Structure 1
Amino acid sequence: MAAARHLRRACGTLRTANSFSVFRGLATVIPKVSQVDNSSDFLGKIPHRKHPGILHLKSVRLPPELVEVARFLVAESSMRSLEEKTKSLTNYLWSRKRPLEAEELRRKAHQVEQKLREEAVAYARQKDALNSLDEVALNSLDEAAEKKLRQNVLNVLRKTTYHWEALEYTEELSFLYMVARMDGVFAAVSRAFHEIQKRVPDFQPHTLLDFGSGTSAVSWAAHGIWGKTLTEYMNIDSSAPMLALAEKLMRGLSEDQQLCFPGVYFRQFLPVSPKVKFDLVVSAFSLNELPGHSQRVETVQTLWRKTDGFLVLVENGTKEGHQMLMEARDVVLKGMDKVVHDPREAHVFAPCPHHLPCARLSPDRPLPCNFIQTYVPLPFRWNPDKKEEKFSFLILRRGPEESEEPWPRITQPVLCRPRHVHVHLCCADGSLQHAVVTPKKHGRDLYRCARKSHCGDRLPVLNLASEPASEAEKAHTDKDQH
């Protein structure tokens, strides 16, 4: 009777203005979810809040010696309007898009020209009242009209096309970047490194290569996790002022001016020899600094050649950032490099639980796959106590694929409701699923694990027999992403 009353209430509510939210709750239920090993206590004495799929970090904090140097440099700076300039740079970097390729620009110019030509001819027809004998003239314009048409095409392209510009990191811009982005970069990279450490505790890297190293936040993050084994931190950045700033941050405020930890090197160019490999190779927020698609492909190939263990790529949590990572993923997985320097296979380690095309990159409605990391920002007066970094990341691994359970990744915030939990999953079959987990259908352990999970965690389930998210669910997801 209670179930019948509940169903009647739900059906009645579906006819109200709030029908969308109820339909969303009933849209897709995964009926046959089974946990890793329901017959044995797979959790052991581990609490549900620390189940094997937990990967998120509550909050990230910069090393105190790095914070101390940054505060000192800002206090000594004579730069005016630092807060406004910092916010402006942050917004600009977040909204930055990829450079438009020449072929795409030509195609767009042709479309604009065709549309304007048709409008010009139609206007000429109306103005001169052309008859059927003048049809030949309809497809051509006089010299003055052609010149005006070309100018109009250029004007339209200027207004509607994103104009990418290469950033020259001068001493001033490098300083602004440190103030605006060093803590956010550190937070995002720390989250990516934490996933490797948590899932592969035996991985003990000795060498690190950071492409587009900026303020060396990657080296600081890596030192905090693998400082006992890392002996070489190779920082590569094309900007000499940025490298000088990174070295100043690394030397700290000590009187002897020694680096805060040994083995750190600063270079403007990548090592040329393909035989020089690194256990851990990183590119954080650097792919969009390259002037085109071909340069990005060449750079990813070079970085992969130098990868002996893991390649970690991090970008903004936007459509542009996600698409650049999926572009890099295809370059590595499809083996687009003409010369094979290392026969070991490439595998996607995170966040994808599969090697299939990303389900979020649908042609009609592409959505970013992004995650959020909370961190304590640099202690400047305009910063709040806590901030969040929204980022996308990709970790590729070289070598034989490990026999690890293909657990699905949680791609959106978990919605906890009375006696049921909504989780959105990217599954091993390449699909996106919306699961409603209940203790009655799926077991107490899995239900509690789901309640304690967050976006970016892996849910310890197998045998997903489910339906893809409904159109209403996709529409709601699209709204959430924007």
Structure 2
Amino acid sequence: MNIGLKLVTCIRYDTSKYFVRGTCKIAVELDPILVAKIEKAELKPRHHPGIIKVGPIELPINLRHALERVIGDYPIKSILKDCQQLNQYIKARHPPIEQLEYNKKIKSVMEEVNRRMPLEELSFLGEEEGLQWRRKRDNLIKRFMAYRTYAWKPIEYGPYESLVYAIGRGAKEYGVLTNILQELRQRDKEFQPRSYFDFGSGVGTGMWAASNLWRDSIFEYYNVDSSRSMNDLSELILREGHANQQMILRNVYHRQFLPAIETMYDLVVSSYTLFELPNAESRKEVLLNLWKKCCGYLVIVEEGTRRGSELVNEVRDYVLQLESNDLKGEILAPCPHNLTCPRLTNETDRTPCNFQAAYAPLRVGDVKDERHTTLYSYIVLKKGKLSDATREWPRIVRPTLNRSKHVICRMCTVDAKLQEVIFTQSKHGRDAYRCAKASNWGDRLPVTLGGEIPTIRKTFKRKENLMNEQIYSLK
């Protein structure tokens, strides 16, 4: 008889050495109209109506050639270098500090300087030493204030600076505004603007985007920019770079100041302009003027930085709190609600409410890339009541995460909450899962969010508890 040893492993589970992870999913209901279209094979989930983006946006060929012509004899390498510096400067910009905030900063600085250099020290110093001490103290205050306060000043655009702006930012701003106005046209198909007003029009990027979408309906373009050089360059671009050629658009007007007349316009735009205004009071004054001129939609766009997002939110809150019946309005985009922005209510979260646009840069000099991206913050306000039945669809506010058999979407919801939903085919259905998978940052999902699906509990073994005891026995 052969006698051998056999290792028999017995595992006794100790629940104190195991952990349980709970995962939950949010119930969703796909839009019934969309479900019917998908079932009838009239629409594919990847083409659902919440998808807005139209891919990398490129300037029309006549505008590209016009921008190439206006460069003239300027050295292209120097222009491209200055374009990069201008973009970096604009991206890092802060609005001018308000007096109340300045007073708080100076008070904080004075308290710190008083701890370092108490005024009592003067009583122990002679006259000459006292003067030196005071100068040293004043210089310390100035240095602290310069370090802690943004040195705002308006950007002056002369002929060369205007050209740098056009070359460095023309394609970028055109891509952003096309994205925004494309959504407006998609969601309000009956909107056919007859007149267009642009405050801070620059070289005319907003006018280019609006004319590309509504050329047949817009009969007047009114552009306001404080820089005469910007206005001249905008007109030259419309003449395709030839001073004596007829403009490619009809009824285009350029002015340096807001008109006093109370003419109403169907589409009012102000893009990348709020940072140029000297204080919050002037921003509110300009905004009220623009809102009064609007009889359709007002579009405000800024850089997708924290500061840019805060300025856009300032506009949002100001318009929504207006009580006059003639000035009441609602938000079309990006928010699915008129409530307080959930992104900016958290003081510890410095994440801006922004979106991404893809565009094809102007191919001059060494620029050969086919696709660039830029971040922007925006708001589209409707004068009066909205009639969009899809307004409450949640907006995807961060990139969609496509994973194995599930998709994670971070969304802003109709009740002003930031909600993360994990879409799976088993829990939400094939159509809802495919719609989520086809969507990305900036799109809307044609769903209604419900409550939590019952929790799934999963038990995992800890590494240190793989074996409790080993028993050796004879076979």
TM-score of Structure 1 vs Structure 2, range by shorter chain: 0.7 to 0.9
Alignment of 1:328-339 (within 5 A): 328-335=315-322
Q: Work out the CA distance in 1 between the residues paired with 2:303 and 2:334.
A: 15
Q: Which residue of 1 aligns with 2:5?
A: none
Q: Which residue of 1 aligns with 2:431?
A: 445
1:415 aligns with 2:409: no
Q: Which residue of 2 aligns with 1:223?
A: 211
Give the partner amino acid of 1:227: R
Instruction: Please say if residues 433 and 466 of structure 1, whose CA atoms lie closer than 8 Å, have aligned partners that are also in contact.
Output: no
Q: 2:326 aligns with which of 308, 330, 343?
A: 343
| Higher strand residue share | 2
Instruction: State the TM-score, normalizing by the size of structure 1.
Output: 0.84
* 418 and 208 in structure 1: CA distance in 2 versus 1, 3 angstrom threshold: same
Instruction: Please say if residues 397 and 410 of structure 2, whose CA atoms lie closer than 8 Å, have aligned partners that are also in contact.
Output: yes
Q: What's the offset of the Cα at 1:37? A: 1.8
* 173 and 253 in structure 1: CA distance in 2 versus 1, 3 angstrom threshold: closer
Q: What's the offset of the Cα at 1:382? A: 3.0
SS in 2 for 1:41: helix
Question: 1:120-140, CA deviations, whole angstroms, 9 ceiling, x for partnerless residues?
Answer: 249969xx9xxxxxxxxxxxx
SS in 1 for 2:25: coil
Q: What's the offset of the Cα at 1:81? A: 1.8
Q: Which moved more, 1:403-412 or 1:428-437?
A: 403-412
* 466 and 299 in structure 1: CA distance in 2 versus 1, 3 angstrom threshold: farther
Q: Work out the CA distance in 2 between the residues paired with 1:148 and 1:39.
A: 72
Q: What's the offset of the Cα at 1:145? A: 4.5
Q: 1:148 aligns with which of 131, 136, 143?
A: 136
1:393 aligns with 2:378: yes
Greater C-alpha radius of gyration: 2
Q: 1:239 aligns with which of 207, 214, 227?
A: 227
Residue identity over aligned pairs, in percent, reads 32
Give the partner amino acid of 2:404: P
1:71 aligns with 2:55: no
Q: 2:169 aligns with which of 177, 181, 187?
A: 181
Q: What's the offset of the Cα at 1:142? A: 6.9
SS in 1 for 2:330: strand
Report the number of matched residues.
429
Q: Work out the CA distance in 2 between the residues paired with 1:228 and 1:422.
A: 41
Alignment of 1:277-426 (within 5 A): 277-335=264-322, 340=324, 343=326, 345-361=328-344, 362-383=346-367, 384-405=369-390, 406-426=392-412
Instruction: Please say if residues 421 and 437 of structure 1, whose CA atoms lie closer than 8 Å, have aligned partners that are also in contact.
Output: yes
Q: 1:100 aligns with which of 87, 97, 103?
A: 97
Q: Work out the CA distance in 2 between the residues paired with 1:417 and 1:249.
A: 46
Q: What's the offset of the Cα at 1:401? A: 2.5
Give the partner amino acid of 1:304: W
Give the partner amino acid of 1:391: Y
Question: 1:156-201, CA deviations, whole angstroms, 9 ceiling, x for partnerless residues?
Answer: 1112221011111111111111111111110110011011011111
Q: Work out the CA distance in 2 between the residues paired with 1:80 and 1:326.
A: 38
Question: 1:143-164, CA deviations, whole angstroms, 9 ceiling, x for partnerless residues?
Answer: 7645533331111111222101
Q: Which residue of 2 aligns with 1:59?
A: 56
Q: Which residue of 2 aligns with 1:171?
A: 159
Gaps of 5+ in 2: 1-12, 454-475
* 403 and 221 in structure 1: CA distance in 2 versus 1, 3 angstrom threshold: closer
Q: Work out the CA distance in 2 between the residues paired with 1:33 and 1:119.
A: 60
SS in 2 for 1:30: strand
Gaps of 5+ in 1: 1-7, 16-22, 129-140, 468-482
Instruction: Please say if residues 236 and 242 of structure 2, whose CA atoms lie closer than 8 Å, have aligned partners that are also in contact.
Output: no
Q: Work out the CA distance in 2 between the residues paired with 1:97 and 1:62.
A: 29
Q: What's the offset of the Cα at 1:292? A: 1.1
Q: Which residue of 2 aligns with 1:86?
A: 83
Give the partner amino acid of 1:350: A
Q: Which residue of 2 aligns with 1:47?
A: 44
Q: Which residue of 2 aligns with 1:20?
A: none
* 13 and 444 in structure 1: CA distance in 2 versus 1, 3 angstrom threshold: farther
Instruction: Please say if residues 57 and 373 of structure 1, whose CA atoms lie closer than 8 Å, have aligned partners that are also in contact.
Output: no
Instruction: State the TM-score, normalizing by the size of structure 2.
Output: 0.85
Instruction: Please say if residues 340 and 416 of structure 2, whose CA atoms lie closer than 8 Å, have aligned partners that are also in contact.
Output: yes
Q: Work out the CA distance in 1 between the residues paired with 2:144 and 2:444.
A: 46
Q: What's the offset of the Cα at 1:68? A: 0.4
Q: What's the offset of the Cα at 1:253? A: 4.6
Q: Work out the CA distance in 2 between the residues paired with 1:195 and 1:39.
A: 18
SS in 2 for 1:197: helix
Q: Work out the CA distance in 1 between the residues paired with 2:43 and 2:248.
A: 37
Q: Work out the CA distance in 2 between the residues paired with 1:39 and 1:97.
A: 43
Instruction: Please say if residues 36 and 42 of structure 1, whose CA atoms lie closer than 8 Å, have aligned partners that are also in contact.
Output: no
**What value does the CA root-mean-square deviation take over the aligned residues?**
2.7
